[in-house]
Chains A and B, each alone.
Chain A
Amino acid sequence: MSPLTIGALLCATTIIILATGVPVAFTLALVGVGFLMIFDGASSIDIVAETFFASISHFTLVSIPMFILMGSAVACSPAAKDLYEALDRWLYRVPGGLIIANLGACSVFSALSGSSPATCAAIGKMGIPEMRARGYPASLATGAIAAGGTLGILIPPSITMIVYGIATETSIGRLFLAGVIPGMMLTALFMTWALYTAKSNGYDFSSEAGRYSLMDKLNVLPRVIPFVLVIVGVLYVLYGGIATPSEAAGVGAMFCVLLSVVIYKIRDAKRLWGMLSASMKESVMILMIIAASELFSFTLSSLYITQSVAEGIAGLDVNRWVLLGLINLFLLVAGFFLPPVAVILMTAPILLPIIQSAGFDPYWFAVVFTINMEIGLITPPVGLNLYVINGICKDVSLPTILKGSYPFVLCMMLAIVILAVFPEIVLWLPDYVMGPEIK
């Protein structure tokens, strides 16, 4: 059987097993081991356990549980409330300031917590009722929060980017920087759309009540600034060449836990345990997928599937933009069904050689990849953010939320087009800070 036929068979088997509801990690490991034993001899079972263990005993991977704990500490504390209040107080004079404050709070909080559903829940619980009370339509209020929650997987520190870096052996520091400007651009696009639609619906900005004195504005800052400083600090030590991502993440996690103990007075054992066990659960889930996908991609390359697919596509000689379009479409569909981490681990090792041979930059592709994954978070059938928002505002129907988030999906697609035309938006900052990439 040719490698391409085996590849097609493997792809079909994976999809069928996944569809029955078997966890992603188990599916990848079983398919990987199964195909290896069938096509490479039963003796290949001997290396399975060692490969599985070795794939997650890397120092770089230590950054994942550390960043998750950091996010968990922030998510367990009432930091979201303070962040939201701070932005609202400072922006109340700006026309449409409330929705800008909401989207801004989403982008900062999702970067801090690293979790899109947690952001939707935390900011949405305060932001959506407030926006609706001040007359914003329900669809816009819920859609904006759903979309805002997705920003965290692009803005550093992002677990999705770390996983991409591990899957493709690219620099995590450079990936983080690559996400900064596109993340801000996307936030700005979201805000522009929100303002435009609020204005075109005849919403009167001047009716936004609430007056805050300078003292009100200053009072809220001491509780917000430390968390933002931790993020800035983590990024600073990373780029100063002072520490590795894992070390920076470890120290960042420690600081965030300490801050939530000192500032938010989370001192009872139950809540601290909740913080720790939530992050343990999440990192176990992600690292199991990473370990399993290592077996999966080991099989792909042992059976020459990766190489054959890459060669086959290179041999097709299609226009690079058509190729990019097709890859985007593929990622979009995969993102509809699977969590970002799983999509990256399963497809990045195959896609990256194709992308590079077509002359695209791997860091630029990381950003495009991530925006595709963001879209998957707010589109059915899996779109987790939609369900989270549906859960916190029970009186808003799912179709209304969907209607509100749909324009934001278009904003993300527009962002991909903008980045395709101006790749410098992604590459300028990493090149400026870390020097041009050595190829």
Chain B
Amino acid sequence: MDFFIYSIRMLSRASGLVSACLVAGSVLVVCQMVVVRYFLGESTIWQTDFVTYGLACSVFLGAPYVAQIKGHVNVDLLTMYASPRYQRVLAYITLTFALLFALLFSYTGWELWYEAWDGGWTTESIWELPLWIPYLALPVGMTLLSLEYVADAICMITNNDEVPFGTEPGGHS
């Protein structure tokens, strides 16, 4: 069981790494695009699509890792003041909703991906990027997110001190 949890945590981290690389890559591509468009006066073909879809993918692929480090911002007013017993009850409720969310978008995400693959959908630009490539990030990310919460649930059941979405200052404001 420990190995199962460990593997999920590592997979989420790997997915987060890909997400961060997509952010870094997008910065480079935006700069390249600015140079090509404004300094060389040429038109750009693939850059806008790459950056737009790349960052959308980075969000879905980054979500499991952000969940692991409790980075999805939440209202922790009740959890802060509740007694440890109620904190546990609240934790189970939150985990159920979070898992429901992740499963909903895994399921609909795989459906969408299959439709795009089967129908040969492409982007509207001249580049005509097949849409199944960026769409893949949604089901993959959300499936990992579901697994991440399954792992959390296992930790919570077997271990008494794990509370999901603990207070963590430093969210964006």
The reply to whether chain A is a binding partner of chain B is yes
A residues engaging B (CB < 8 A)?
Answer: 17-27, 29-30, 33, 45-46, 48-50, 52-53, 56-59, 61-62, 65-66, 68-69, 114-118, 150, 153, 159, 242-243, 246-247, 249-251, 253-254, 257, 273, 276-277, 279-289, 291, 337-342, 377, 381-382, 384-385, 387-388, 391
Known pairs A59-B52, A65-B55, A247-B30; A21 contacts B169 (CB<8 A) = no
* Beta-carbon nearest neighbor of A383 in chain B: B173
Q: How far is the CA of A341 from the CA of B112 in the complex (A)?
A: 28
- Find chain B residues with CB under 8 A from A249 CB: 30
- Find chain B residues with CB under 8 A from A247 CB: 30, 33-34
Interface residue? B69 (CB, 8 A): yes
Interface residue? B120 (CB, 8 A): no
Q: How far is the CA of A33 from the CA of B103 in the complex (A)?
A: 13
Q: How far is the CA of A65 from the CA of B54 in the complex (A)?
A: 11
- Find chain A residues with CB under 8 A from B26 CB: 62, 65-66, 250
- Find chain A residues with CB under 8 A from B33 CB: 247, 250
- Find chain A residues with CB under 8 A from B90 CB: 20-21
Interface residue? B140 (CB, 8 A): no
Consensus secondary structure, chain A interface: helix
* Beta-carbon nearest neighbor of A287 in chain B: B59
B residues engaging A (CB < 8 A)?
Answer: 16, 19-20, 23-24, 26-28, 30-31, 33-34, 38, 48, 51-53, 55-56, 58-59, 62-63, 65-66, 69, 71-80, 90-91, 93-94, 97-98, 100-101, 104-105, 108-109, 111-112, 134-135, 138, 165, 169-173
Taking the closest CB of chain A, its distance from the CB of B145, in whole angstroms, is 10
A-B contact pairs, 16 of them (CB 8 A): A24-B73, A29-B101, A29-B105, A30-B100, A30-B101, A53-B56, A53-B135, A62-B30, A69-B23, A118-B170, A250-B33, A285-B72, A337-B75, A337-B77, A339-B171, A339-B172
- Find chain B residues with CB under 8 A from A381 CB: 77, 80
Q: How far is the CA of A23 from the CA of B74 in the complex (A)?
A: 4
- Find chain B residues with CB under 8 A from A59 CB: 48, 51-52
Q: Which single member of A18, A49, A116, A284 contacts B62 (CB below 8 Å)?
A: A284
Q: How far is the CA of A242 from the CA of B56 in the complex (A)?
A: 25
- Find chain B residues with CB under 8 A from A279 CB: 23
* B138 close to A52 (CB less than 8 A): yes
Taking the closest CB of chain A, its distance from the CB of B22, in whole angstroms, is 9
Q: How far is the CA of A283 from the CA of B28 in the complex (A)?
A: 17
Q: Which single member of A66, A117, A341, A387 contacts B30 (CB below 8 Å)?
A: A66
Q: How far is the CA of A300 from the CA of B20 in the complex (A)?
A: 33
Known pairs A21-B79, A30-B104, A49-B112; A342 contacts B59 (CB<8 A) = no
- Find chain B residues with CB under 8 A from A291 CB: 59
* B108 close to A48 (CB less than 8 A): yes
- Find chain B residues with CB under 8 A from A284 CB: 19, 58-59, 62-63, 65-66, 71
Q: Which single member of A21, A50, A61, A385 contacts B75 (CB below 8 Å)?
A: A21
* B111 close to A49 (CB less than 8 A): yes
* Beta-carbon nearest neighbor of A53 in chain B: B138
- Find chain B residues with CB under 8 A from A338 CB: 75
Central interface residue in B33, B59, B94, by most chain A CB within 10 Å: B59
Q: How far is the CA of A53 from the CA of B58 in the complex (A)?
A: 12
* B75 close to A49 (CB less than 8 A): no
Taking the closest CB of chain A, its distance from the CB of B46, in whole angstroms, is 13
* A280 close to B74 (CB less than 8 A): no
* B23 close to A280 (CB less than 8 A): yes
